[in-house]
Protein backbone atom coordinates (compact mmCIF):
# COMPACT_ATOMS: atom_id res chain seq x y z
CA UNK A 1 0.00 0.00 0.00
CA UNK A 2 1.26 3.47 -0.77
CA UNK A 3 2.73 4.97 2.40
CA UNK A 4 1.07 8.32 1.76
CA UNK A 5 -2.33 6.61 1.79
CA UNK A 6 -1.33 4.69 4.90
CA UNK A 7 -0.34 7.90 6.71
CA UNK A 8 -3.65 9.56 5.83
CA UNK A 9 -5.54 6.50 7.08
CA UNK A 10 -3.41 6.51 10.19
CA UNK A 11 -4.24 10.13 10.91
CA UNK A 12 -7.96 9.37 10.65
CA UNK A 13 -7.64 6.42 13.01
CA UNK A 14 -5.64 8.45 15.51
CA UNK A 15 -8.22 11.22 15.45
CA UNK A 16 -10.81 8.73 16.67
CA UNK A 17 -8.82 7.97 19.80
CA UNK A 18 -10.07 9.75 22.91
CA UNK A 19 -8.94 7.29 25.54
CA UNK A 20 -6.53 8.48 28.21
CA UNK A 21 -4.13 6.71 30.54
CA UNK A 22 -1.93 7.47 33.46
CA UNK A 23 1.23 9.08 32.05
CA UNK A 24 3.31 8.01 35.00
CA UNK A 25 2.38 4.37 34.52
CA UNK A 26 2.93 4.66 30.78
CA UNK A 27 6.59 5.51 31.28
CA UNK A 28 7.54 2.81 33.77
CA UNK A 29 9.46 0.78 31.22
CA UNK A 30 12.78 2.51 31.97
CA UNK A 31 12.39 1.82 35.65
CA UNK A 32 11.48 -1.03 35.84
CA UNK A 33 1.43 -7.03 7.24
CA UNK A 34 2.66 -5.35 4.40
CA UNK A 35 5.81 -7.32 4.12
CA UNK A 36 6.58 -10.30 6.30
CA UNK A 37 10.01 -11.88 6.57
CA UNK A 38 10.71 -14.96 4.47
CA UNK A 39 9.25 -18.15 5.89
CA UNK A 40 11.33 -20.32 8.18
CA UNK A 41 8.90 -22.55 10.10
CA UNK A 42 9.87 -23.03 13.72
CA UNK A 43 10.35 -26.64 14.68
CA UNK A 44 8.63 -28.03 17.75
CA UNK A 45 10.75 -27.07 20.74
CA UNK A 46 10.79 -25.85 24.29
CA UNK A 47 10.34 -22.07 24.26
CA UNK A 48 12.69 -20.05 26.41
CA UNK A 49 9.90 -17.83 27.73
CA UNK A 50 7.30 -19.72 29.77
CA UNK A 51 5.85 -16.98 31.99
CA UNK A 52 2.31 -15.73 31.51
CA UNK A 53 2.04 -13.05 28.86
CA UNK A 54 1.02 -9.52 29.81
CA UNK A 55 -1.73 -9.72 27.19
CA UNK A 56 -2.46 -13.44 26.77
CA UNK A 57 -5.39 -12.86 24.42
CA UNK A 58 -3.03 -11.45 21.79
CA UNK A 59 -1.66 -14.12 19.47
CA UNK A 60 1.36 -13.94 17.15
CA UNK A 61 0.71 -13.17 13.50
CA UNK A 62 2.93 -16.04 12.35
CA UNK A 63 4.69 -19.02 13.90
CA UNK A 64 7.91 -18.12 15.66
CA UNK A 65 7.10 -14.42 16.05
CA UNK A 66 7.47 -14.75 19.83
CA UNK A 67 8.67 -17.28 22.43
CA UNK A 68 11.44 -18.75 20.30
CA UNK A 69 13.10 -22.07 21.00
CA UNK A 70 15.47 -22.09 23.93
CA UNK A 71 19.02 -22.61 22.68
CA UNK A 72 22.25 -23.16 24.57
CA UNK A 73 25.49 -21.51 23.61
CA UNK A 74 28.31 -23.73 22.40
CA UNK A 75 30.72 -20.93 23.22
CA UNK A 76 32.39 -21.02 26.62
CA UNK A 77 33.29 -17.52 27.76
CA UNK A 78 34.71 -15.45 30.59
CA UNK A 79 33.36 -12.11 31.79
CA UNK A 80 35.83 -9.64 33.22
CA UNK A 81 35.04 -6.27 34.80
CA UNK A 82 37.26 -3.80 32.95
CA UNK A 83 36.32 -0.97 35.29
CA UNK A 84 33.74 0.34 37.73
CA UNK A 85 32.76 3.85 38.76
CA UNK A 86 31.15 5.08 35.54
CA UNK A 87 28.24 7.48 36.07
CA UNK A 88 25.23 5.92 34.32
CA UNK A 89 27.03 5.05 31.08
CA UNK A 90 24.78 5.01 28.00
CA UNK A 91 27.04 3.82 25.20
CA UNK A 92 30.38 2.12 24.60
CA UNK A 93 32.36 2.39 21.35
CA UNK A 94 35.58 0.40 20.96
CA UNK A 95 38.53 2.35 19.55
CA UNK A 96 40.97 0.80 17.05
CA UNK A 97 43.75 0.51 19.67
CA UNK A 98 41.58 -1.45 22.12
CA UNK A 99 40.54 1.43 24.36
CA UNK A 100 36.85 2.27 24.81
CA UNK A 101 34.94 5.49 24.24
CA UNK A 102 32.14 5.88 26.80
CA UNK A 103 29.23 8.32 27.13
CA UNK A 104 27.72 9.10 30.51
CA UNK A 105 24.13 10.27 30.71
CA UNK A 106 24.99 13.41 32.69
CA UNK A 107 26.98 14.79 29.75
CA UNK A 108 30.52 13.43 30.00
CA UNK A 109 32.38 11.56 27.28
CA UNK A 110 35.42 9.61 28.45
CA UNK A 111 38.01 7.15 27.24
CA UNK A 112 38.61 4.03 29.32
CA UNK A 113 41.87 2.28 28.54
CA UNK A 114 42.00 -1.44 27.83
CA UNK A 115 43.53 -1.78 31.30
CA UNK A 116 40.51 -0.08 32.90
CA UNK A 117 41.86 3.40 33.62
CA UNK A 118 39.06 5.99 33.41
CA UNK A 119 40.09 9.20 31.68
CA UNK A 120 38.94 12.73 32.42
CA UNK A 121 35.89 14.06 30.54
CA UNK A 122 36.67 15.08 26.97
CA UNK A 123 36.08 18.81 26.54
CA UNK A 124 33.94 20.31 23.79
CA UNK A 125 30.73 18.32 24.30
CA UNK A 126 27.66 20.61 24.08
CA UNK A 127 25.26 21.00 27.00
CA UNK A 128 22.66 18.27 27.42
CA UNK A 129 19.27 18.04 29.15
CA UNK A 130 19.78 15.00 31.38
CA UNK A 131 16.36 14.97 33.02
CA UNK A 132 14.50 11.66 32.90
CA UNK A 133 15.74 9.54 29.99
CA UNK A 134 17.66 12.41 28.40
CA UNK A 135 21.34 13.25 28.43
CA UNK A 136 24.44 12.39 26.45
CA UNK A 137 23.37 9.23 24.68
CA UNK A 138 24.92 7.22 21.83
CA UNK A 139 28.34 7.59 20.22
CA UNK A 140 29.77 6.26 16.95
CA UNK A 141 33.09 6.52 15.15
CA UNK A 142 33.35 7.84 11.63
CA UNK A 143 33.87 5.01 9.13
CA UNK A 144 37.13 6.85 8.36
CA UNK A 145 38.10 7.43 11.99
CA UNK A 146 41.68 6.23 11.46
CA UNK A 147 42.29 9.19 9.15
CA UNK A 148 39.74 11.85 10.18
CA UNK A 149 39.43 11.15 13.96
CA UNK A 150 35.75 12.18 13.75
CA UNK A 151 33.23 11.15 16.39
CA UNK A 152 29.43 11.38 16.18
CA UNK A 153 27.13 11.47 19.21
CA UNK A 154 23.44 11.90 20.02
CA UNK A 155 22.06 13.90 22.92
CA UNK A 156 18.90 15.51 24.24
CA UNK A 157 19.50 19.12 23.31
CA UNK A 158 17.90 21.95 25.33
CA UNK A 159 15.88 24.19 23.01
CA UNK A 160 14.00 27.14 24.46
CA UNK A 161 11.35 25.70 26.76
CA UNK A 162 11.78 22.18 25.44
CA UNK A 163 14.28 19.66 24.11
CA UNK A 164 14.75 17.11 21.35
CA UNK A 165 17.24 14.58 20.06
CA UNK A 166 20.17 16.08 18.21
CA UNK A 167 23.31 14.63 16.63
CA UNK A 168 26.69 16.34 16.59
CA UNK A 169 30.11 15.57 15.20
CA UNK A 170 33.60 16.64 16.24
CA UNK A 171 37.26 15.82 15.77
CA UNK A 172 39.09 14.11 18.64
CA UNK A 173 42.44 15.70 19.44
CA UNK A 174 45.64 13.69 19.18
CA UNK A 175 45.95 13.68 22.97
CA UNK A 176 42.31 12.53 23.20
CA UNK A 177 41.43 15.29 25.67
CA UNK A 178 39.21 17.55 23.55
CA UNK A 179 36.89 17.84 20.57
CA UNK A 180 37.26 20.51 17.90
CA UNK A 181 35.20 21.54 14.87
CA UNK A 182 32.10 20.56 16.84
CA UNK A 183 28.94 20.94 14.77
CA UNK A 184 25.34 19.88 15.32
CA UNK A 185 24.40 18.14 12.06
CA UNK A 186 20.84 17.06 12.88
CA UNK A 187 18.08 18.41 15.12
CA UNK A 188 14.84 16.48 15.48
CA UNK A 189 11.66 18.51 15.02
CA UNK A 190 9.61 19.58 16.85
CA UNK A 191 11.08 20.26 20.27
CA UNK A 192 8.94 19.21 23.22
CA UNK A 193 9.12 19.84 26.96
CA UNK A 194 9.36 16.23 28.09
CA UNK A 195 11.84 13.78 29.54
CA UNK A 196 10.98 10.50 27.82
CA UNK A 197 11.61 8.50 24.64
CA UNK A 198 14.55 10.11 22.85
CA UNK A 199 15.53 6.98 20.89
CA UNK A 200 19.03 8.13 19.87
CA UNK A 201 20.90 5.08 18.55
CA UNK A 202 23.42 5.74 15.78
CA UNK A 203 24.63 3.28 13.14
CA UNK A 204 26.61 3.77 9.96
CA UNK A 205 25.37 1.68 7.06
CA UNK A 206 27.47 0.01 4.39
CA UNK A 207 26.42 2.92 2.16
CA UNK A 208 28.36 5.31 4.41
CA UNK A 209 25.19 7.03 5.58
CA UNK A 210 24.30 7.65 9.24
CA UNK A 211 21.07 6.04 10.49
CA UNK A 212 19.47 7.59 13.59
CA UNK A 213 16.57 6.29 15.68
CA UNK A 214 14.10 8.72 17.25
CA UNK A 215 11.47 8.16 19.95
CA UNK A 216 7.93 9.54 19.93
CA UNK A 217 8.27 11.24 23.36
CA UNK A 218 5.85 8.87 25.12
CA UNK A 219 2.76 10.88 26.10
CA UNK A 220 -0.59 10.20 24.45
CA UNK A 221 -0.96 13.73 23.12
CA UNK A 222 2.38 13.59 21.30
CA UNK A 223 2.82 9.98 20.24
CA UNK A 224 0.50 10.24 17.18
CA UNK A 225 3.32 12.21 15.55
CA UNK A 226 5.01 8.85 14.95
CA UNK A 227 2.54 8.63 12.02
CA UNK A 228 2.94 12.23 10.83
CA UNK A 229 5.40 13.02 8.06
CA UNK A 230 6.04 16.59 9.20
CA UNK A 231 7.53 15.35 12.47
CA UNK A 232 10.71 13.41 13.21
CA UNK A 233 9.15 11.76 16.26
CA UNK A 234 8.93 7.97 16.08
CA UNK A 235 11.04 7.68 12.92
CA UNK A 236 14.36 6.39 11.74
CA UNK A 237 16.46 9.00 9.96
CA UNK A 238 19.12 8.70 7.25
CA UNK A 239 21.60 11.49 6.63
CA UNK A 240 25.08 11.90 5.17
CA UNK A 241 27.99 12.34 7.62
CA UNK A 242 27.95 16.09 6.98
CA UNK A 243 24.25 16.30 7.86
CA UNK A 244 22.96 16.66 4.31
CA UNK A 245 20.02 14.62 3.02
CA UNK A 246 20.76 11.88 0.47
CA UNK A 247 18.77 12.31 -2.75
CA UNK A 248 17.60 8.68 -2.62
CA UNK A 249 15.82 9.01 0.72
CA UNK A 250 12.22 7.81 0.24
CA UNK A 251 10.38 11.07 0.95
CA UNK A 252 12.66 13.60 -0.71
CA UNK A 253 10.43 15.97 -2.68
CA UNK A 254 7.18 14.76 -1.11
CA UNK A 255 5.05 17.70 0.02
CA UNK A 256 4.70 17.94 3.78
CA UNK A 257 7.28 15.24 4.51
CA UNK A 258 10.61 15.77 6.23
CA UNK A 259 13.29 14.53 3.81
CA UNK A 260 15.50 12.89 6.45
CA UNK A 261 12.85 10.26 7.25
CA UNK A 262 13.79 6.66 6.38
CA UNK A 263 11.01 4.71 8.16
CA UNK A 264 7.87 5.51 10.13
CA UNK A 265 5.91 4.28 13.15
CA UNK A 266 8.37 3.51 15.95
CA UNK A 267 8.01 3.96 19.71
CA UNK A 268 11.42 4.30 21.39
CA UNK A 269 14.19 2.52 19.51
CA UNK A 270 17.26 2.29 21.74
CA UNK A 271 18.96 -0.51 19.80
CA UNK A 272 20.00 -0.71 16.16
CA UNK A 273 22.58 -2.61 14.12
CA UNK A 274 23.47 -3.67 10.59
CA UNK A 275 24.00 -7.34 9.85
CA UNK A 276 26.80 -8.72 7.69
CA UNK A 277 24.60 -8.51 4.57
CA UNK A 278 23.90 -4.80 5.09
CA UNK A 279 20.36 -5.14 6.45
CA UNK A 280 19.25 -2.55 9.02
CA UNK A 281 17.69 -3.97 12.19
CA UNK A 282 16.19 -2.17 15.16
CA UNK A 283 14.88 -3.31 18.53
CA UNK A 284 12.03 -1.11 19.69
CA UNK A 285 11.44 -0.52 23.41
CA UNK A 286 7.72 -1.16 23.23
CA UNK A 287 4.72 -0.94 25.54
CA UNK A 288 4.14 -3.56 28.23
CA UNK A 289 4.23 -6.85 26.32
CA UNK A 290 5.35 -5.25 23.06
CA UNK A 291 9.14 -4.98 22.74
CA UNK A 292 9.89 -5.87 19.12
CA UNK A 293 12.61 -6.65 16.60
CA UNK A 294 12.16 -5.08 13.17
CA UNK A 295 13.97 -5.42 9.87
CA UNK A 296 13.81 -1.86 8.58
CA UNK A 297 13.23 -1.17 4.90
CA UNK A 298 13.23 2.10 3.04
CA UNK A 299 9.99 4.05 3.38
CA UNK A 300 8.04 1.42 5.31
CA UNK A 301 5.59 2.00 8.18
CA UNK A 302 6.02 -0.12 11.32
CA UNK A 303 2.74 0.86 12.89
CA UNK A 304 3.15 2.53 16.25
CA UNK A 305 0.82 3.56 17.85
CA UNK A 306 -1.82 2.05 15.55
CA UNK A 307 -0.27 -1.41 15.30
CA UNK A 308 1.45 -3.00 18.27
CA UNK A 309 1.49 -5.95 20.59
CA UNK A 310 1.11 -5.30 24.31
CA UNK A 311 -0.72 -2.77 26.44
CA UNK A 312 -0.06 0.51 28.21
CA UNK A 313 2.13 0.28 31.30
CA UNK A 314 -0.98 1.27 33.26
CA UNK A 315 -2.54 -2.04 32.16
CA UNK A 316 -5.04 -0.30 29.87
CA UNK A 317 -5.36 -1.15 26.17
CA UNK A 318 -3.41 0.96 23.68
CA UNK A 319 -6.07 3.25 22.15
CA UNK A 320 -7.30 2.09 18.72
CA UNK A 321 -4.40 -0.32 18.28
CA UNK A 322 -4.39 -3.80 16.74
CA UNK A 323 -1.59 -6.35 16.44
CA UNK A 324 -1.54 -6.47 12.65
CA UNK A 325 -3.04 -4.36 9.87
CA UNK A 326 -2.71 -4.21 6.09
CA UNK A 327 -0.24 -1.57 4.97
CA UNK A 328 2.00 -1.89 8.03
CA UNK A 329 5.04 -4.10 8.55
CA UNK A 330 4.74 -6.82 11.18
CA UNK A 331 7.61 -7.17 13.65
CA UNK A 332 9.99 -10.05 13.01
CA UNK A 333 9.83 -10.88 16.71
CA UNK A 334 8.36 -9.57 19.96
CA UNK A 335 8.66 -10.22 23.68
CA UNK A 336 5.75 -10.60 26.09
CA UNK A 337 6.67 -10.13 28.93
CA UNK A 338 9.07 -7.39 27.94
CA UNK A 339 12.83 -7.26 28.37
CA UNK A 340 13.27 -3.45 27.96
CA UNK A 341 15.87 -3.62 25.15
CA UNK A 342 18.80 -1.24 24.84
CA UNK A 343 21.88 -1.70 22.67
CA UNK A 344 22.35 -4.26 19.89
CA UNK A 345 25.22 -5.92 18.05
CA UNK A 346 25.39 -8.52 15.30
CA UNK A 347 28.38 -10.70 16.02
CA UNK A 348 30.86 -10.83 13.14
CA UNK A 349 34.12 -11.61 14.93
CA UNK A 350 36.32 -14.69 15.04
CA UNK A 351 36.66 -15.09 18.80
CA UNK A 352 33.30 -16.89 19.01
CA UNK A 353 32.66 -18.79 15.73
CA UNK A 354 29.46 -20.32 17.17
CA UNK A 355 27.98 -16.83 17.58
CA UNK A 356 28.58 -15.57 14.05
CA UNK A 357 25.50 -13.86 12.67
CA UNK A 358 23.73 -13.83 16.04
CA UNK A 359 22.09 -10.65 17.32
CA UNK A 360 22.95 -9.63 20.88
CA UNK A 361 20.55 -7.28 22.71
CA UNK A 362 20.95 -5.68 26.12
CA UNK A 363 18.03 -5.97 28.53
CA UNK A 364 17.39 -3.28 31.13
CA UNK A 365 14.38 -4.68 32.95
CA UNK A 366 15.44 -8.33 32.68
CA UNK A 367 19.07 -7.52 33.55
CA UNK A 368 20.69 -9.88 31.06
CA UNK A 369 22.19 -10.21 27.61
CA UNK A 370 19.88 -11.73 25.01
CA UNK A 371 21.26 -13.79 22.12
CA UNK A 372 18.99 -14.26 19.11
CA UNK A 373 19.66 -16.81 16.39
CA UNK A 374 18.29 -15.46 13.10
CA UNK A 375 17.83 -17.52 9.94
CA UNK A 376 16.22 -16.28 6.72
CA UNK A 377 14.84 -13.22 8.46
CA UNK A 378 13.24 -15.13 11.33
CA UNK A 379 14.25 -15.63 14.94
CA UNK A 380 14.78 -19.38 15.40
CA UNK A 381 16.35 -19.48 18.85
CA UNK A 382 16.90 -17.40 21.97
CA UNK A 383 19.33 -17.61 24.85
CA UNK A 384 19.70 -15.41 27.92
CA UNK A 385 23.23 -14.82 29.20
CA UNK A 386 24.66 -13.08 32.30
CA UNK A 387 21.43 -13.70 34.20
CA UNK A 388 23.22 -13.97 37.54
CA UNK A 389 24.85 -10.54 37.53
CA UNK A 390 21.82 -8.46 38.50
CA UNK A 391 22.63 -5.36 36.45
CA UNK A 392 20.73 -3.47 33.76
CA UNK A 393 22.56 -3.79 30.46
CA UNK A 394 22.49 -0.52 28.54
CA UNK A 395 24.75 -1.20 25.54
CA UNK A 396 26.71 -3.99 23.86
CA UNK A 397 29.38 -3.59 21.16
CA UNK A 398 31.95 -5.79 19.46
CA UNK A 399 35.59 -4.77 19.66
CA UNK A 400 38.29 -5.18 17.00
CA UNK A 401 39.55 -8.18 18.98
CA UNK A 402 36.21 -9.99 18.63
CA UNK A 403 35.34 -9.49 22.30
CA UNK A 404 31.96 -8.12 23.36
CA UNK A 405 31.93 -5.00 25.53
CA UNK A 406 29.01 -4.10 27.77
CA UNK A 407 28.11 -1.11 29.94
CA UNK A 408 25.62 -1.30 32.79
CA UNK A 409 23.00 1.31 33.59
CA UNK A 410 23.63 2.48 37.15
CA UNK A 411 25.25 5.32 39.09
CA UNK A 412 28.29 3.11 39.70
CA UNK A 413 28.23 1.72 36.18
CA UNK A 414 30.51 -1.05 35.03
CA UNK A 415 32.29 -1.92 31.79
CA UNK A 416 32.49 -5.66 31.06
CA UNK A 417 34.45 -7.65 28.51
CA UNK A 418 33.36 -11.07 27.21
CA UNK A 419 36.19 -13.24 25.87
CA UNK A 420 36.61 -16.96 25.07
CA UNK A 421 37.11 -19.06 28.19
CA UNK A 422 40.73 -19.95 28.84
Which residues belong to the active site?
197
CA distance 115 to 227: 46
Per-residue b or e along 233-268, where b marks 16 or more CB atoms closer than 10 Å to that residue's CB? bbbbbbbebebebeeebbbeeeeebbbbbbbbbbbb
Q: Are 340 and 28 in contact (CB under 8 A)?
A: no
Residue closest to 97 by CA, chosen among 115, 79, 80: 115
Q: Is the peptide bond before 107 cis (omega within 30 degrees of 0)?
A: no
Q: In what order do the strands lie in the sheet with 261-264?
A: 202-204, 210-213, 235-239, 261-264
CA distance 267 to 293: 12
Per residue, the 3-state secondary structure of 292-317, as one string, reads: EEEEECCCCECCCCCECCCECCCCCC
Cα–Cα distance list, 211 to 202, 238, 262 (Å) = 6, 5, 8
Which residues on adjacent β-strands are paired with residue 255? none
Which H helix or E strand runs over 393?
strand 393-398
CA distance 294 to 358: 15
SS3 107: coil
- Segment 247-254 long-range contacts (CB within 8 Å, at least 24 positions apart): 250/3, 250/298, 250/299, 251/299, 254/4, 254/229
Q: What are phi and psi of 156, to 5 degrees?
A: -85, 110
Q: Are 102 and 415 in contact (CB under 8 A)?
A: yes
CA distance 396 to 343: 5
Q: Is the dihedral of CA 288, 322, 228, 255 positive or negative?
A: positive
> In 20-144, which residue ranges form alpha helices assigned H by DSSP?
23-26
Give me the half-sphere count of Cα atoms (radius 13 Å) on the Cβ side of residue 64.
Answer: 23
Amino acid sequence: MNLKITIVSAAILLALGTASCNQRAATQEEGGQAQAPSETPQESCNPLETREANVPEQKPTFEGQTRACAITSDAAFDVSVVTKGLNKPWAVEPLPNGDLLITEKSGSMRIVTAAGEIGQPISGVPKVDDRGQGGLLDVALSPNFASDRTIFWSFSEPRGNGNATSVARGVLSDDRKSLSQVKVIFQAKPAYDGTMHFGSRLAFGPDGMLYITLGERSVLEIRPQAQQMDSHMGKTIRIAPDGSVPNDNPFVGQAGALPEIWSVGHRNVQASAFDSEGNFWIVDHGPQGGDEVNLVEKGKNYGWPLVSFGEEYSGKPIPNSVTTREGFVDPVYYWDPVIAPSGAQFYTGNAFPAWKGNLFVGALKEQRLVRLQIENGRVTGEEHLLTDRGQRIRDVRQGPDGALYIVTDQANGELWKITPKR
